[in-house]
Structure 1
Amino acid sequence: MPPRSKVATLPAEVKAWLDQALAENNFSDYEALSAELTERGFAISKSALHRYGQNFEERLSALKMASEQARAVVAAAPDEEGAVNEALMRLVQEHLFKLLMTDRDQIDLPKVAKAVAELGKASIAQKKWQAEVRAKAEAAASEVEKIAKKGGLDAETVAEIRREILGVAR
């Protein structure tokens, strides 16, 4: 097994500074970063920084791409019922379950337990929100139905308005 990366052993505040400096410098000038770390008491070669920087840049790029794609999906198909969020929660649940089944000795059980608890809270909040949205839509549809009947609309028009409000396919 290869030795642990020197960057991974940096204190959190120094690593946070390094990550920010890498991003601000557009993942370049590793010699200057190495010199700065040496001044701070951490001897890390420019090659080691470059290896870390490449990996970090790839992860950051993937995260930016995922964020851009998520924005595009939301813009193209607004998710008023929370289906995307629900699907994401199920995906995370599935991955956590697989993690528990395969890597039991290598996981931080308190962190996984916290993630499961947070996921449960999010799921409950999602269901509550969906129920509230459905109730509001139903109330609005019923109110429009009352108003429409007073205005002399025929049953077919009232049904069409109700379907539009509730989002029911024809």
Structure 2
Amino acid sequence: MPPRSKVAGLPPEVKAWLDQALVENNFSGYEVLSDELAERGYSIGKSALHSYGQGFEERLSALKVASEQARAVVAAAPDEEGAVNEALMRLVQEHLFKLLMTEGSQMDLPKVAKAVAELGRASVVQKKWQAEVRAKAEAAASQVEKIAKKGGLDADTVAEIRREILGVAA
């Protein structure tokens, strides 16, 4: 097993500074960063910083691409029902389960348990929100139905208005 990265051993505030400096310097200037760390009392060579910086840049780039794609998907297919979020939660749950089955004892079980609990809470909140939206739509449809009947609309027109409000296919 390779030795633990010196960057990973930095205190959180120093690592946060380093990450910010890497982004601001467009993932370059490793020698200057190494010198600055040395002034702060941390001996990390430019090669080690470059290795860390490459991985960090790749993760940041992947996150940016994923964010852009997510924005494009949401713009192309708005999700008032929360179906995308629900599908994402299910995918994460499935992935966690697979990891648990394959890596078992090598995993950080408390972190996995916390992730599963948070997914469960998110799922409950999502279901509650969906129920509230359905109840509001049903109440609005009922109110419009009463108004439409008072206004003398025929039953077919009232039913069509109700379907449109509730988003039910004919």
TM-score normalized by the length of structure 1: 0.94
Runs of 4+ in 1 over 4 A off after TM superposition: none
Matching residue's letter, 2:128: K
Measure, in 2, the Cα distance between the counterparts of 1:74 and 1:147: 34
Is it true that 1:152 corresponds to 2:152 in the alignment? yes
Partner in structure 2 of residue 167 of structure 1: 167
Are 1:137 and 2:137 counterparts? yes
Matches of residues 19-38 of structure 1 in structure 2 within 5 Å?
19-38=19-38
Deviations 1:103-148 (A, max 9, x none): 1222111111111111111111111111111111111111111111
Q: What is the Cα deviation at residue 3 of structure 1? A: 2.5
Deviations 1:30-52 (A, max 9, x none): 11101011111211111211111
Tell me which residue corresponds to 2:93: 93
Relative to the length of structure 2, the TM-score reads: 0.94
Q: Share of identical aligned residues, percent?
A: 86
Q: Which residue of 2 aligns with 1:102?
A: 102
- The whole-number CA distance in structure 2 between the counterparts of 1:42 and 1:65 is 33
Q: How does 1:21-60 map to 2 (within 5 A)?
A: 21-60=21-60
* Residue 4 (structure 1) shift: 2.4
Q: Which runs of 5+ in 2 are unaligned?
A: none
CA deviations over 1:26-71 (Å, ceiling 9, x no partner): 1111111010111112111112111111110110011111112112
Alignment of 1:108-127 (within 5 A): 108-127=108-127
Alignment partner of 1:8: what SS? coil
Report how many residues are paired: 170
Query: 1:5 — aligned with what?
Result: 5
Counterpart-to-counterpart distance in 2, 1:134 and 1:74: 21
CA RMSD in angstroms comes to 1.2
Which runs of 5 or more structure 1 residues have no equivalent in the other structure?
none
